[in-house]
Structure 1
Amino acid sequence: MIAADHSYLDNAVLPSGDSPELVLVPASLEERIAALKLNSPAWKGPLDLDAYITRENHLAQQSLTKDGLITWLLVVQGQPEGERTILSSCETYKKKAVLVQNGKVEYVPALSIGSVFCRPEFRGKGYAKRMIQELVMKMDMEPKATNKVPFSLLYSDIGKKFYAQFGWKPYPSAHFSLPPVPKDAYDRAIVRSDLPTARTLVADDVRRFMCSADVVQKELEILRAASQRSPSAKVGVIPDFDHFKWHWAREEYYAELLFKDKAPPLIKGAGDDQSRVYCAWNRNFGETPEESTLYILRWVYDEPTSSEETEKTAQAMATIIRRAQLEAYEWNMAKVQFWNPTSVMERAVAILDPTAQIVHREQDSVACLRWHGAEQDKEVEWFWNEKYAWC
């Protein structure tokens, strides 16, 4: 049985968003289910209600989220737990992050905000704004209590202005979007091109080639060197294996429900060993095939130091992208996307399609970052701003 919102206050007597009667509280287990029931029309996609709640419970138990996920509710103060009217809701996730300044590497906690929702019948009263204001106050108190200087991030689907008023600065939010490629076209392209042949990666390959201690250390050295060249803080969510497993748990749940006669999605990415270029991906199943997307979650490669190395890396990336397009076709995805391409990635796409253009997102999945507390005005560069950090 699915829990419901137990309160039946008349909408006319509910307080406005600036009322002192409102308070932000962590949801009880029952209230979390009630919040999921309320937001399901917005986010359940092709799933029915029970399957959507099961999906959310499944994701909440993943190693990335099981110890740091909180559902927050904006409610009327004084209502008893279990009978509170849910006016607005959101979730926060604790994540491992890194801060680098003046060559010094510091591991810090970061907070990811998601599932921001206001009930349609209560919109226009300022509840979402009040909820975010209350959340900001809680976050800004935490660094003082723990002697940390964490940051938070979110991905806005309502443009850049709403969250900016609370300190979440919009960051580059661009991507390439490429069509799927059927097997015969893929084979013809491989035969007539001089591109290398991509190897496919299973989960253990991604762990080995993209999440090893050596790879992490190399990435940190890039941040350290960048911090020695400029005074701004460099931050990033650590791209550990738990992030990939969370995305894969999501796709595997959908695949089991929607593709009962198809083998599980074991291929998790592709790479080129000679050039040491690798990527991990996941399949995001939308409500319709047109909304379904194969996202390249993250790229790992050695930064080229010459024009020859740049071309070699771009060629390896091109064949990996082509393999992703084939994977998208085989899973009935409408497109392949990867976020915030570098210049070498742009060259890779140009090899495949010289007419392809970078898309700059202004409304959906706009990456935003906020530095907390007294450090609010700190100049911050966001490294590894790729899809893996979204949740």
Structure 2
Amino acid sequence: MTASAPFAHDDIHLIRAYSPDIIQQTWANNRVEWGPSLDEETYYARERMLASQEFTRDNKLQVWVLVPKTFDSVKPQLDLILSAVETFARPGIVASKDQGLKDVLSISVASVFTPAHYRGRGYASLMMKLLWKEIGNMKDVQFSFLYSDVGPNFYGRLGWTPKRSEEIVIPTAYTIPIHDSDSAAAGDDRSGVRKSMTVEKVTDSNVSELIVADAKQVRTLLKAQIETASSSKVFAVVTPEPTCVLWYHARARFAAQHVLKLEQYQVTEWGAKQSKSFVLWYHDLLKEQLFIIRWYLDPSDGDETARSLIEAAQMEARKWKLSKVVIWNPDQPLADLLQLEIKYRDGAIPSLGLINSTVEKDNVEWVHNEKYSW
């Protein structure tokens, strides 16, 4: 039997990978996709670091492999890993008018990868069908989500329905237009130059407190939404959690120190806040962009607060010589303020499905469908 021999679907199954050798082999396979610029040891080191964070520890991260039923997990033939996928257990909320708010678990799916010599045989489709069944048997799990880089249809027919996939790209050097009313609200000096509002930095010292407060206000907003929604509408949200944002921070620090060799620099600012409004960002240093992973503008705050938070993100991007600031699924008022177009994004398409549910997929709304869920 050779590594490239075809296997009938009845002769293969999906199993949980526990062996470090098997897990590392999945990394070796997918490095061509998610770490082509990294040498092998650096890539392995990054994956081990990410797997050891609080966000992923204690069984929250699981690796699954599609293998022949004859596969020996104790003495594995590693070239018989036909396809692999990772899942992350994350807190979530499902809300509806009839049932109110319910705290649940959600399963995030990532790193779906089939080696090139095994493609074209339906292995990835089979793996995802089997994974959907596995997720359906998990206790307290109410929904699952992923981000598709292969268009909306592949995962859409397997249970993960594509949702809104839009973004605004803000060039770092872009000057946000100022309206007369904005200048009057902010106050001009005698030269007519607009005075920017002072924003507070979000750092390691206060980021967890901010996210805990954010999770509470998410619940408040959900309660308001279900009051005016139809009885058939179901809302799903991935609950903001500090461990997820700290996982992002760890990823950025690793890139700065071990990939770009910027040991003399430290990524210390993770966002900005003004009153109850805030923005959290992630330094995607390898792609030279600053991602806004979570955005909240309190109803009591106006355009000047929004402008100041975006300008803080631009300033942070310039500090790291990043070319742009990216925000996913922004609302129209922000686009109007920036005078930039909201564009469809055909990569990393958010896709979500309720587990063991008869609710029509079009009646399921993903609330706060932002980068922090990725």
Q: Return the TM-score normalized by structure 2.
A: 0.88
Letter aligned with residue 262 of structure 2: K
Map Cα deviations across residues 68-114 of structure 1 (whole Å, 9 max, x no partner): 11111111111211225111111001000011122622110100000
C-alpha separation between the residues in 1 aligned to 2:49 and 2:321? 24
Q: Establish whether residue 83 from structure 1 lines up as the match of residue 66 from structure 2.
A: no
- Cα offset, 1:278, TM superposition: 0.9
1:1-42 CA distance string (max 9 Å, x none): xxxxxxx7242x3214xx200100111221000110111011
- Matched residue, 1:23: 13
CA RMSD of aligned residues (A): 2.1
Offset, 1:272: 2.0
Q: Who is 1:139 aligned against?
A: 135
Residue of structure 1 aligned with 2:2, choices 1, 6, 9:
9
Report the AA paired with residue 319 of structure 2: E
- What is the DSSP-based 3-state SS (H/G/I as helix, E as strand, rest coil) of the residue aligned with 1:203? coil
Q: Which residue of 2 is the match for residue 57 of structure 1? A: 48
- Secondary structure of 1:110's partner? strand
Residue type at the aligned position of 1:179: P
CA separation of 1:332/1:265 partners in 2, compared to 1, >3 Å: closer, same or farther?
same
Matching residue within 135, 152, 175 for 2:167 = 175
Q: 1:234 to 1:44 in 2, by over 3 A?
A: same
The Cα of 1:178 is off from its aligned counterpart by 1.1
User: How many Å separate the matches in 1 of 2:3 and 2:211?
Assistant: 54
Kindly indicate whether residue 305 of structure 2 is the aligned counterpart of residue 324 of structure 1: no
CA contact (8 A) 1:174 1:358 kept: yes
- The CA deviation at 1:317 is 1.5
* Percent of pairs with identical residues: 27
* Equivalence for 2:185: none
Is 2:267 the partner of 1:265? yes
Q: How far apart in 2 are the matches of 1:38 and 1:170?
A: 27
Match for 1:375 among 342, 358, 361?
358
Provide Cα deviations, 1:322-360, integer angstroms capped at 9, x if missing partner: 2211211221222111111123322332xxxx3x21121
Report the 3-state secondary structure (helix = DSSP H, G, I; strand = E; otherwise coil) of the residue aligned with 1:270. strand
Give the drift of 1:149.
5.3
How far did residue 282 of structure 1 move? 1.0
Distance 1:50 1:10, change over 3 A: closer
Give distance in 2, aligned partners of 1:234 and 1:322.
32
The correspondence of residues 310-389 of structure 1 with structure 2, limited to 5 A, is 312-349=301-338, 354=339, 356-362=340-346, 364-375=347-358, 377=360, 379-389=363-373
- Looking at structure 2, the residues matched to 57 and 79 of structure 1 have their Cα atoms a distance apart, in angstroms, of 24
Report what 2:182 is aligned to. Answer: none
Classify 1:139/1:216 alpha carbon distance in 2 versus 1 (closer, same or farther; 3 Å). closer
- Residue number in structure 1 paired with 2:147: 155
What is the aligned partner in structure 2 of residue 280 from structure 1? 280
* 1:254 CA displacement: 0.8
TM-score w.r.t. the length of structure 1 is: 0.84
Secondary structure in 2 aligned to 1:172?
A: coil
**Contact 1:87–1:118 (Cα < 8 Å) also in 2:** yes
TM-superposed deviation, 1:200: 2.3
- 2: CA distance, partners of 1:217 / 1:79: 46
Cα contact 1:21–1:77 (8 A) shared by 2? yes
Distance 1:209 1:72 in 2: 34
Instruction: Describe the SS at the equivalent of 2:154.
Output: helix
Match of residue 118 from structure 1:
114
Letter in 2 for 1:367: P
Does structure 1 retain, via aligned residues, the 8 Å contact 2:107–2:141?
Answer: no
Aligned to 1:198: 199
Offset at residue 182 of structure 1 (A)? 9.8
Task: Decide which moves more: 249-258 or 95-104.
Answer: 95-104
Distance 1:10 1:298, change over 3 A: closer
- Partner residue, 1:223: 222
Q: State how far apart, in whole Å, the 2-side matches of 1:62 and 1:133 are.
A: 29
Q: Which amino acid aligns with 2:54?
A: S
Contact 2:237 2:368 survives alignment (8 Å): yes
